[in-house]
Each structure stands twice: as C-alpha cells, then as structure tokens.
C-alpha cells in the first residue's frame, strides 16, 4: 500500500523488516527505521547490515516522530493499538500532515482510529483487510478534509466489496454474540453490545444483497 517513490519513516520498526522490504522492492529512495527502544534498533541495524542497506536505511532512536528528519514523505505505523498510533501522530501533527501518505495498522478499535483521523483533518484514501493468523485492517491516509458516516467509521470506507469483508464481520459477530450470552441483562455494556450486534447483522444483510441482488 505504500506509494512510490517515497522517503519512509517506519515508527516502531522492530527488526526493520518493513523498511528493508520496501527498499528491496524499489518503493523507497531512503528510509528511517525508528523506535523508542534501543533493543529493536540494534536488531534492526543488524538486519539492515546483513542486506547491505546501511547507506539507505538509517536507524533513529525516537519517541514517535520527534527525532525523525523533515524530508520524510511517508509514515508507516503498524502493530500498535489505536491510542498509541494517535498519540504519536498528535505529538507531531504538523509533520504528519506534511507527509503525502500515512499507512496505519491498528491492532484494536480501528473504528476509533478512523474517527480520530476524520476529526484531525486526514482523508482515508485506501484500505485493505488481511488475514494472517489474525485479521488486520490497514489504512492509507493523507492530509485533507473528509466527512465519514457512522457506518464508514465502523466498517470502513472501501472494504464493503473486499473478499474478506463478510468472513471478517461474521467472525466479529460470533465473538460479540458469545460475549453477550455471558452478560446479565442489567450489565452496563449489554445494551451497547446488543446494538453493535444488530448493526453488524444489518450491514452483512446489505452486503449480501449487493453481491446477490434480487431478481
């Protein structure tokens, strides 16, 4: 999903596998592998050296975007919770808005991430859904204005026709229904959970109609 060409900052780089892959595929002109902890940076530096890309991928010890150079055009943040992602972006919002693309993957509450992006002047221009042991929603965004509906915040802007859409939301629906069975009627979250379940059922019914329109 990363646009090419770009100068990349991968925040929370771990082993620097993403910058290495993007560099080897020719998508990046230069990359910064960034992490707040020295351990991942050392592992990343070792991996970078093994593929002889030390002159093009630079490791940066940084709390989010704070120590990242201003020449970046693309930011990737993956494998974190939505609160960590939004905290990083909020901390250096001008630098984030200056980039032509951000590619974000949250491990939880992607709807809250979409809502935050919508409220902080970002446009979602692409989405993908991947199943690799877990389901992952990946967002591509850029600076701008966009008004999302509540359905788009929950279900995504571009994912309705994705091959994994129904499978993913059936999985979520089953999990939520199992949780609901364990709750007492007077539980503080019962009504909200029941409402979520109904929204998912309605969306799945709509998706089924769009795939198999009535004759």
Confidence check: pLDDT of 97 > 80: yes
Could you count the other beta carbons within 10 Å of the beta carbon of residue 195? 10
- Beta-carbon contacts of residue 57 (< 8 Å; ≥ 6 apart): 16, 19, 20, 23, 30, 31, 32, 33, 48
Task: Tell which residue, 6, 13, 124, 2, has the closest CA to residue 64.
Answer: 13
Q: Which tens digits make up the pLDDT trace of 126-165? A: 999 999 999 999 999 999 999 999 999 999 999 999 999 9
Confidence check: pLDDT of 59 > 80: yes
Domain 6-148 in CATH 3.40.50.150? The answer is yes
40 Cα distance to chain centroid: 21
Say what percent of the chain tops pLDDT 90. Answer: 91
Could you count the other beta carbons within 10 Å of the beta carbon of residue 209? 10
Provide the pLDDT confidence category of residue 7 given band limits of 50, 70 and 90.
very high
Q: Which tens digits make up the pLDDT trace of 176-194? A: 999 999 988 888 889 999 9
**The predicted structure's pLDDT at residue 214:** 45
Residue that is written with structure tokens 């230069």 in the block: 30
What average pLDDT score do residues 77-95 get?
A: 96
- Three-state DSSP class for residue 80: strand
What average pLDDT score do residues 5-19 get?
A: 95
- Beta-carbon contacts of residue 175 (< 8 Å; ≥ 6 apart): none
pTM of the model: 0.92
Could you count the other beta carbons within 10 Å of the beta carbon of residue 108? 12
> How far is the C-alpha of 184 from the C-alpha of 214, rounded, in Å?
39
Say what percent of the chain tops pLDDT 70. Answer: 96
Q: What mean pLDDT, rounded, does the chain reach?
A: 94
> How far is the C-alpha of 142 from the C-alpha of 140, rounded, in Å?
7
């Amino acid at each position: 999903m990363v646009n090419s060409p770009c100068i990349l900052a991968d925040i929370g780089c771990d082993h620097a596998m993403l910058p290495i892959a993007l560099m080897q595929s020719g998508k990046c002109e230069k990359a910064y592998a960034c992490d707040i902890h020295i351990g991942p940076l050392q592992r990343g530096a070792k991996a970078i050296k093994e593929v002889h890309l030390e002159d093009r991928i630079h490791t940066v010890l940084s709390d989010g975007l704070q120590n990242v150079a201003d020449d970046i055009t693309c930011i990737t943040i993956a494998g974190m919770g939505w609160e960590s992602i939004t905290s990083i972006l909020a901390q250096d919002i001008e630098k984030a808005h200056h980039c032509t693309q951000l590619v974000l993957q949250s491990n939880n509450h992607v709807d809250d991430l979409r809502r935050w992006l919508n409220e902080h002047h970002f446009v979602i221009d692409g989405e993908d859904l991947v199943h690799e042991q877990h389901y992952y929603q990946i967002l591509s965004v850029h600076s701008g204005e966009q008004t999302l509906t509540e359905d788009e915040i929950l279900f995504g802007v571009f994912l309705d026709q994705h091959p994994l859409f129904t499978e993913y939301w059936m999985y979520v629906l089953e999990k939520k229904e199992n949780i609901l069975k364990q709750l007492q009627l007077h539980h503080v979250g019962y009504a909200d959970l029941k409402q979520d379940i109904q929204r998912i059922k309605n969306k799945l019914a709509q998706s089924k109609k769009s795939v198999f329109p009535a004759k």
